[in-house]
Amino acid sequence: MCGIVGIVANSHVNQEIFDALTVLQHRGQDAAGMVTSQNGRFFLRKDNGQVRDVFRTRHMKQLVGNIGIGHVRYPTAGSSSSAEAQPFYVNSPYGIALAHNGNLTNTEELAADLFREDLRHLNTSSDSEVLLNILAHELQILHKLKLTPEDLFSAMGQVYKRVRGAYAVVAMITGYGILAFRDPFGIRPLCIGVRETAGKPEYMVASESCALIGGGYKLLRDVKPGEAIFLSEDAQLFSQVCAEHTEYRPCIFEHVYLARPDSIIDGISVYKARLRMGEFLADKVLRERPEHDIDVVIPIPDTSRTAAMQMALKLGVKMREGFVKNRYIGRTFIMPGQKIREKSVRQKLSPIELEFRDRVVMLVDDSIVRGTTSRQIIEMARECGAKKVYIASAAPAIRYPNVYGIDMPAVKELVGHGRTDEEVAEYIGADWLVYQDLGDLIESTAGADTPAIQFDCSVFDGDYVTGDVDEQYFAKLEAARNDGAKFDEELGDNETADMLKRLS
């Protein structure tokens, strides 16, 4: 779950891309990058760090042009070295830069084909670099000096045949425009917005609508599963569904945790979905313990606040702010290692003791993944003198790895894997644990207006919509990306990154 953005405008886009990436920062904190284009040349800046650290005034001055793309990264493949920050670039054909949100499930096979059949070189272990080279190859073999939208869509038809997994993408082609596309299941989000200046349209494509609204664009629509959108440099919009088989199966975890509440994804308000999650949770509490003794509902900031608010209302129990969030510390779950995640919880959340003392508290979180947050928070609640500590999760137990762009690669790192609900409660130290039922989560999220959508719920039910992940895939993923392995790889890859930096 990275954040991506692309803009075609009537004036320089660097500041707008910077602003949009800042709005999308919650989707990736490890690296950021931007490419703009002017007079047939690309201008690139990318590095590890958050948006405000990566783009200084000296970089912004060089990022000229009325068209550009940007990325904030949360790695799910390869390493977190700066050499794998995005956008990626290839000079042939035309010059293409690409930014990707998601995770491919046939990266290895594609990388081997690129090397053996397409004679293309990959310089990193990133799946996004593979995707860029597949797109480049399919455009190259058309052998067209002048590209038309039809050529682009025909190349995209081939890309959809070869690439599997989750991918929401923005790609910029020198001298032509921006090509944006979403995988055939629409797993990761992507939407288009429009605005007019001086009677001429300007377009933005972005992972979430909050980025459009922040930039003064009006949400036009979501990109459909398997659809490619082409925005030409002179701001004409072309679109076509290019994948042969498509299904609407967006990731439900966007609504649970990943997305911002002010976004509307696939016609669904993330905020409203979270309110409904809170109501269903309250119903479950009342079903399980009609005579409950909860004195106060306390959210674990930030994401759970919306659900907690509605849950408290429905229970008829007061909601209180029991934790103050340090606004200078980012999201813990998307931090790169377990040590830093553990350390960050206490740095990020500090308790207001009087809300806990001698009370039976119901803590609410949006999800419990590794249990890093809940375990420490429950300990803090007890240190503050809570009589009993209950916890409710707006999502069901997470028992399966994610292979579509969320870094949950190793089942043994998931607190819900191989444990009953009671065992999870014991592990995190709760007196009572209430998980949302999957049916209720789906009902909370699927609005009445979106009957065609079924969600990817793989982390809860182990059903992977692309149908191509098996035990062997999981074994490889876990070996490559468990916390220990990531640490080893980073050491090696940093050397490569440093070397590349010296060369550039």
Ligand X SMILES: O=P(O)(O)OC[C@H]1O[C@H](OP(=O)(O)OP(=O)(O)O)[C@H](O)[C@@H]1O
Judged by beta carbon distances under 5 to 8 A according to partner kind, the member of ligand GLN, Mg ion, ligand X, none in contact with residue 436 is: none
Quick check: helix, strand or coil at residue 122?
Answer: coil
Rounded to the nearest 5°, which phi and psi values hold at 136?
-60, -45
Give the nearer residue to ligand GLN in terms of CB position, either 2 or 135.
2
Residues of span 364-423 touching ligand X by CB under 6 A:
365-374
Distance of CA 324 to the CA centre of its chain: 25
CB of 317 to ligand GLN, least distance (A): 37
Query: At its nearest, how many Å lie between Mg ion and the CB of residue 56?
Result: 30
SS3 content of the chain, % helix, strand, coil (to 5): 35, 25, 40
Residues annotated as catalytic (active site), given as ranges: 2
**Integer CA distances (angstroms), 447 to 252, 276, 283, 312, 430, in order:** 13, 10, 19, 22, 33
Return the number of the residue (14 or 445) whose C-beta is nearest ligand X. Answer: 445
Q: Which is nearer to ligand X, 173 or 335 (CB)?
A: 335
CA 211 to CA 208: how far, in whole Å?
A: 6
**Nearest distance from C-beta of residue 415 to ligand X, angstroms:** 7
Contact 24, 208 (CB under 8 A): yes
Choice from 126, 372, 374, 458 touching ligand GLN (CB under 6 A): 126
Pattern 303-322, Mg ion, x by CB under 5 A: x-------------------
Nearest Cα residue to 257 out of 113, 161, 111, 370? 370
Q: How many amino acids of this chain bind ligand GLN (CB under 6 A)?
A: 16
- Which residues have C-beta within 8 Å of that of residue 39, sequence separation ≥ 6? none
Question: Cα(6)–Cα(203) distance, rounded to whole angstroms?
Answer: 8
Q: How far is the CB of 98 from ligand GLN (least distance, A)?
A: 11
Strand partners, 32: 47, 72
CB of 73 to ligand X, least distance (A): 16
Is 14 an interacting residue with respect to ligand GLN (CB under 6 A)?
A: no
- Residues between 134 and 163 that touch ligand X (CB under 6 A): none
| Residue 43, beta-bridge partner list | 36
Angle at 379 between CA 429 and CA 420, to 5 degrees: 20
- Which of 121-129, 134-142, 279-287, 312-320 is the region at the interface with ligand GLN (rule: CB under 6 A)? 121-129
Nearest distance from residue 184's CB to ligand GLN, in Å?
Answer: 17
Name the CA dihedral angle for 253, 255, 260, 261, rounded to a multiple of 10 degrees. Answer: -160
Give the distance between the most distant pair of CA atoms in the chain: 75
Q: Among 33, 87, 95, 102, which residue sits at the site for ligand GLN (rule: CB under 6 A)?
A: 102
Q: Which does 77 bind (CB under 5 to 8 A by kind): ligand X, ligand GLN, Mg ion, none?
A: ligand GLN
Q: Residues comprising the binding site for Mg(2+)? A: 303, 365-366
User: Looking at beta carbons only, is 82 or 332 nearer to Mg ion?
Assistant: 332
Rounded Cα distance between 277 and 434, Å, is 13
Q: Of 238-246, 299-307, 350-358, 486-494, which part binds ligand X (CB under 6 A)? A: 299-307
In 3D space, the residue among 102, 74, 104, 100 whose CA is nearest the CA of residue 87 turns out to be 100
Smallest gap from Cβ 267 to ligand X, in A, equals 23
Question: Residue 65 interacts with ligand GLN (CB under 6 A)?
Answer: no
Q: Give the span between the Cα atoms of 498 and 504, in whole angstroms.
A: 10
Q: What does 189 bind: ligand GLN, ligand X, Mg ion, none (CB cut-off 5 to 8 Å by kind)?
A: none
Residues 71-90 that bind ligand GLN (CB under 6 A): 73-78
Retrieve residue 157's tokens: 């038809």
Distance CA 98, CA 90 (A): 9
Q: Is 118 exposed, middle or buried (0-12, 13-18, 19+ CB in 10 A)?
A: middle
Q: Is 100 in the site for ligand GLN (CB under 6 A)?
A: yes
Q: Respond yes or no on whether the N-terminal peptide bond of residue 409 is cis (omega within 30° of 0).
A: no
Neighbours of 487 (CB within 10 A): 14
* Closer residue to ligand GLN (CB): 78 or 250: 78
Report in angstroms how near the CB of residue 365 gets to Mg ion at its nearest.
6
Could you say which of Mg ion, ligand GLN, ligand X, none residue 408 binds, taking C-beta under 5 to 8 angstroms by partner kind? Answer: none
189 binds ligand GLN (CB under 6 A): no
Within 367-426, which residues bind ligand GLN (CB under 6 A)?
405
| 1 vs 268, beta carbon nearer ligand GLN | 1
Q: Which residue is nearest to ligand GLN (CB)?
A: 2
Mask for 253-282, x = binds ligand X (CB under 6 A): ----x-------------------------
Which of ligand X, ligand GLN, Mg ion, none lies near 257, with the C-beta cut-off 5 to 8 A by kind?
ligand X
Distance of CA 443 to the CA centre of its chain: 22
Q: Does 128 sit near ligand GLN (CB under 6 A)?
A: yes
Specify the residue, 106 or 376, whose C-beta has the smaller distance to Mg ion. 376
8 Å CB contact between 210 and 16? no
**Using CA atoms, how far apart are residues 70 and 88, in angstroms rounded to an integer?**
11
Strand pairing partners for 5? 70, 206
Q: What DSSP state is assigned to residue 217?
A: P
Site residues (CB under 5 A) for Mg ion? 303
Site residues (CB under 6 A) for ligand X? 257, 300-303, 331-334, 365-374
